[in-house]
Amino acid sequence: MDRHTITLAHATDWPGFRRAARALVQAGVPPQEVQWFTAQGAAQDLFASPAPPGSSVDPLPSPAGGAAPRVPEDFLRLCERLVLHRNPVRFALMYRLLWRLVRERGLRHDPLDADRLQAHHMVRAVARDMHKMHAFVRFRPVTDTEGHTVQVAWFEPDHFITEANAGFFVRRFTQMRWAILTPDASVRWDGTALHTGPGGQRSDAPPPDAGEALWLTYYRHIFNPARLKTDMMRKEMPQRYWHNLPEASLITELARGAHERSARMVQAEATTPRKAIAPLIPSHAHASR
């Protein structure tokens, strides 16, 4: 069998994938004859043939006169998100979907197709990760060598979303200097331009500052101990994010004290009012169940 090995420049090399996939479809290469790697992935795979440096695609078949594949606009949008997923099968899945979309007329209208559902679930995971990054990045101020205040955050996303997500922070904090460091990549905004760089380490980001105490006070006091529901909290704010959220350090203590605090409120005698009030105690106000 004529196997093709495609090595993409990096984990989210969407333009490289597009180029290669277009050529492969035009040459009529079926999905089961293509293996996809990224440059980092290939380097770690002892059995992969080494990719020649500088070449993103090896070997690219020359098109056998096939027309350029036409696919629905949403498919491109789907792939732009799918490529950010950490699962290495994403490129094979994208190519298989492309191959099938070109050949199977009904596929674009069938949301229950197994490949489409898998792609959809993966895209959902990426979208959720991006949303959680919008929510859980926490900036802390530092002063740079030129005396500017820069807001710096350390974040650990599940997928390769850091660069794709930078636009959100640019639009929100356009007038601010900031940097977000992650294990895979870093982005830095200097007030006018966005710079991308390699991944970093947690110790590269600043430790808690004094101003953070106000936020902790707020978190402590907006919590209602009479309604402890830690399952709900964990579902929306999974524990793996906690070590980068300053307020999460309070959770154990707040949850432990909650039963006691709410029991105290329930058992406490109603207190004597500060001011006399008219006795308005309608009998029906007592019964709630």
147 binds other proteins (CB under 8 A): no
Residue 86 CA to residue 34 CA, distance in Å, equals 19
Q: Any contact of residue 139 with other proteins (CB under 8 A)?
A: yes
**Nearest distance, CB of residue 210 and other proteins, angstroms:** 11
Applying CB under 8 A, which part among 19-27, 71-79, 164-172, 196-204 lies near other proteins?
Answer: 164-172
Q: Is residue 142 involved in binding other proteins (CB under 8 A)?
A: no
From the CB of 175, what's the least distance to other proteins, in Å?
6
Instruction: Name which of 60 and 250 has its Cβ closer to other proteins.
Output: 250
Residues 269-288 that bind other proteins (CB under 8 A): 270-278, 280-282, 284-288
Least distance in Å: CB of 245 to other proteins? Answer: 7
Handedness of CA 74, 80, 83, 84 (dihedral sign): negative
Closest CB 254 distance from other proteins, rounded Å: 5
Q: How far is CA 192 from CA 144, 146, 260, in A?
A: 16, 16, 52
Question: Contact 66/99 with Cβ under 8 angstroms?
Answer: no
CB of 118 to other proteins, least distance (A): 10
| Residues in 206-235 at the binding interface with other proteins, rule: CB under 8 A | 211-215, 217-233
Site for other proteins in 232-261 (CB under 8 A): 232-233, 236-237, 245, 247, 251, 254-255, 258
Burial class of 120 by CB neighbour count within 10 A (0 to 12, 13 to 18, 19+): middle
- Nearer residue to other proteins within complex by CB, 3 or 227: 227
* Shortest distance in whole angstroms from residue 140 CB to other proteins: 7
Q: Between 140 and 188, name the residue whose CB sits nearer to other proteins.
A: 140
Interactions with other proteins, residue window 169-198 (CB under 8 A): 170-176
Between 88 and 117, how does the x/- string for binding to other proteins read (CB under 8 A)? ------------------x--xxxx-x--x
| From candidates 138, 150, 164, 177, binder to other proteins by CB under 8 A | 138
Alpha-carbon 240 to chain mean position: 13
For residue 6, the cross-strand partners are 36
Which residue among 103, 128, 131, 195 contacts other proteins (CB under 8 A)? 131
Alpha-carbon Rg for the chain in angstroms: 27
